[in-house]
Amino acid sequence: MAQPPSRSIWAMVIRNFLNSIKPRQFRGNLMGTDYFGNKYYEIPANPSSGKRKASRWFDPPEKDDFMQEMPAEWEAWLRGRRKEPPSEEEVMKNLAIMQLKKKNAIAVEAKAGKVVPMKKGIETFPVRPEYESVPGKPVKDP
């Protein structure tokens, strides 16, 4: 009966050292772009060299702008919640739905007769003057 290969410490150290010397992929494969101008890259996983997860990142159009916007589909892909990158048709379809919902919300408020312009807070959450923003604090009248 044949014995399985031994798992000595020194053999693992030498194997890991040799794998660390092998050339690696440093430049990612361009996976796509979005309507904001962000470019998305990926270096695929390589289990034989010990890399179990793919490396994913994006390059924004303006490097110094820290308030970057990104479609939800691409963010899900970056965080690993979806395996395949989104298609351009899928992103544009969801953008059209989002714009339609905004337009319908404005129409509903106009139909109600009371049009209150929404102020955007620091986290882009709409702030309404008739609702309290901190629980227990009274609403300030403008």
**Contact between 110 and 56 (Cβ < 8 Å):** no
User: Is the pTM value of this prediction over 0.75?
Assistant: no
Tell me: the pLDDT tens digits for 85-140?
Answer: 999 999 999 999 999 998 988 888 787 776 566 666 556 666 677 777 777 777 66
38-93, pLDDT tens digit by residue?
999 998 887 776 778 888 999 998 888 777 888 999 999 999 999 999 999 999 99
- Quick one: which of 68, 85, 78 has its CA closest to 32? 85
Which sequence spans correspond to the domains of the chain? 27-60+72-86, 87-131
Name residues whose C-beta falls within 8 Å of residue 126's C-beta, 6 or more positions apart in sequence: 118, 119, 120
- How deeply is 41 buried, as exposed, middle or buried, from its count of CB atoms within 10 A (0-12, 13-18, 19+)? middle
Q: How do residues 8-22 score in pLDDT, each as one tens digit?
A: 888 888 887 887 777
